[in-house]
Chain A
């Protein structure tokens, strides 16, 4: 052919993306049934459907699911009825998130930054270059300059192990922007974070928490079950939430004053001697000091603070005392005191104390200590690294800084500050997106960009991944085997497992495998001479069940059944600490006392509001907004709006659906308004999950706003949480 003019000089190599398989190419025999697309499709409809138990990754609940596969592709998912956490149900987020498995925008191979874009590289090159850079940083700046932050997954212990193997104490979760005040309040008072026995309760009071929007399927089912048996549900929330829809009574409390309500509630219990006297005398310390403080908070005083009528506070306290111990105040989560206000820690304390006075601690229908499976250790077969010698630079657990913070969570939103100060130099971000989910994104971006090395492990190019030096693509959750999990613990402990349902489509790897391979390249392989299969077997060993059984069922009950009552709590006194000597020594009020929120809107300014936020049942943090079905629901029901009390809106000349401009000390933006009677007049409420600014997430890009855009960088003095409702905004018609 080369003799033809038009071929002269033409030299193009075959691309050869198709290669001869072991069978060898060329044996060309194609039946009509196979070649003809319609015939083939018809034949494939008869293929068998195979099921695999695993768990969902659409949010942090990790609900047990049964995934079905047909022709090697996902066919459907259903709830695993044996999983405590979701009791056979899957929420819209779980279904919507499936879309990402076949989403063209998924990451398909490791990426390396090249100027303002990325170039695909091999895993080997990625590991080699990352390890070389980290080892240089470790030599130059020491192990404390390295961090890992993740939204907790079942494999988080391997990330912690990696950081410890490298000598760094800097393992973080998202906790400081979510729940650390709540946890610390409970731990200080009763020694651990308990659960709610909702289905057996006769009276349920929920303060700020919104399990129907949040979303916790198991809890919603239990609430509905309890209501079916005649239980009363009262929701105390500035907003008429999805949970308030289920309630017998909604009390629109003034935001930031839940502590005052609880102090008034306790006041009634104490003054009218409605508390459980036996429990108080035998199982608590500091009742005398509590009484001395609590006399300051009669319901009439509380009414002025939180705008709930004194007689309502008294009635609720009396009604709950009537059915105690089957009366509970929900343990809470992010809302309304997980990481919201300056007074959130004391609110959690007051909540734990109020429950304790109802005598419901570890009682049927009350607050109970869930049974959790004690998994085995990898050691001695695989020795654990030593605990790092230095403390966390964020001040977690350090007297004078954030003494009540937990080592396991740290203060993740301090990372940008530490990076800007040059104390952190390199980090890994796994299954997390701090650029979108941490306060004050301009500051967060400045901090993360200052790092000499940022490695992000994700499935898509999130905001944080978009600025990384390297991006390591994790397989979608249905494509990977993962670590054992105890998330579904309850009245009886459960162990569950995430397993591969379909083959990975792209050049991606499971999170645990990435951690192990990183460790090997970083020279700490002696702590990681195992694979996930062996690790799961070792950790399952003490529970008396086999990995085969667990893989077949997805979830297994293990250990003893829960029993009512308790002997000794995990507090310094072994009892419920109504008064805490520990807090006194640390300079905090040993008994809860009223504390104003850090900032408050100006009541004389019609444009001044407190900005609240919360979840809608179809979105999780920043990871679901890009799912087309979930975003379609958002649009269909006009959910991407700022809620505002109708009367306040009319005073500003606003009509429902108008565009408004919101401005705080750190940010501004425009959004449409929803005027409603279902919100306290002093605040506006923004649904979380929107405001995506990664251009790689094209379904969600530039739609809606996010509360973090308006939140300054705060650290509360107890645990260093982000105080995410301490925002005053100015709202005007756009």
Chain B
């Protein structure tokens, strides 16, 4: 994969983990999402069964409603009703500052942990700022994936390796959480594609950066 392809791949993942919209559902309905990922799975020699969740039957309207409801059930954070957090901070100790006297300093399950502050600093350095939707959650999965696509355009492999190692190391924890809530096949596929992509990249970057 070229860096341009990886940038697009990351954008596609960003799209899958964003609240579903009609454009995305239409693309699913037309089989374009499935075709996109199938292409890379063929190249990687991976089991294409993982992608079955992108082959949804039924009309776009029904699919849109189903996916919207499922996203809301699993992830929606505006109303605080989603079961699964998509923020990195949630899965890590809130701070690594050994002097922090707050009772929850080393607890997991909160937002705006160290990872969120670090990402804010990175975004600022890169001349980027958060859109309104993810205010208060700079380390939300879709923000990290969008930043990853940005890195594929501008950064070196070494820098990308650092970012994936530091900030996308929690995805396996997310998958464990995910399985408990028996998600819609679409999101099962999305999760497996994400895991596979990151694993591939980590392996590649290990070789590229360490020779």
Contacts and interface: CB of A to CB of B under 8 A. Distances in A.
Interface string A1-41: 10011111111111111111101111111100011111011
A696 B81 contact: yes
A21 B129 contact: yes
B205 interface: no
A566 interface: no
B146 A71 contact: no
Given A10-B32, A104-B111, A696 B80 contact: yes
Interface string B89-114: 11000111111111110010111111
B72 interface: yes
Contact of A45 (B11, B97, B104, B166): B97
Given A24-B127, A102-B94, A696-B81, A73 B12 contact: no
A12 B136 contact: no
A18 B151 CA distance: 12
Contacts of A407: none
Given A35-B122, A36-B162, A71-B117, A6 B133 contact: no
A105 interface: yes
Interface string A40-51: 110011000000
Q: Name the prevailing secondary structure of the A interface residues.
A: loop
B101 A75 contact: yes
Contact of A16 (B30, B98, B131): B131
A98 B134 CA distance: 22
A75 B100 contact: yes
A278 interface: no
Given A36-B162, A45-B98, A18 B79 contact: no
Given A507-B132, A507-B135, A105 B122 contact: no
Contacts of B4: 1
Contacts of B85: 104
Given A34-B125, A505-B112, A73 B117 contact: yes
**Interface range on chain A: under 10, 10 to 19, 20 to 34, or 35 or more?**
35 or more
Interface string B125-154: 111111111111000001100110010001
Contacts, number: 196
A10 B159 contact: no
Interface centre among B38, B79, B85, B166 (most CB of A within 10 A): B79
B102 A74 contact: yes
A99 B80 contact: no
B24 interface: yes
A102 B101 contact: no
A27 B30 CA distance: 38
B155 interface: yes
Given A6-B38, A37-B115, A95-B103, A13 B23 contact: yes
Given A6-B39, A15-B142, A26-B127, A628 B109 contact: yes
A680 interface: no
B42 to A, nearest CB: 9
Given A19-B128, A76-B101, A107-B80, 17 more contacts: A6-B35, A12-B12, A12-B27, A15-B18, A16-B146, A17-B142, A17-B143, A30-B122, A30-B126, A74-B102, A75-B100, A76-B100, A104-B85, A117-B81, A505-B111, A507-B135, A629-B104
21 contacts: A4-B39, A9-B32, A15-B15, A20-B128, A20-B129, A28-B155, A35-B159, A37-B115, A45-B97, A73-B117, A98-B102, A98-B104, A102-B112, A104-B85, A106-B80, A107-B79, A117-B79, A117-B81, A461-B80, A505-B136, A506-B135
Top 9 closest pairs, chain A to chain B, by CB: A505-B136, A6-B39, A37-B166, A105-B80, A28-B154, A102-B110, A23-B127, A120-B78, A21-B129
Interface of A: 1, 4-21, 23-30, 34-38, 40-41, 44-45, 70-76, 95-96, 98-99, 102-109, 111, 117-118, 120, 460-461, 505-507, 628-629, 695-696
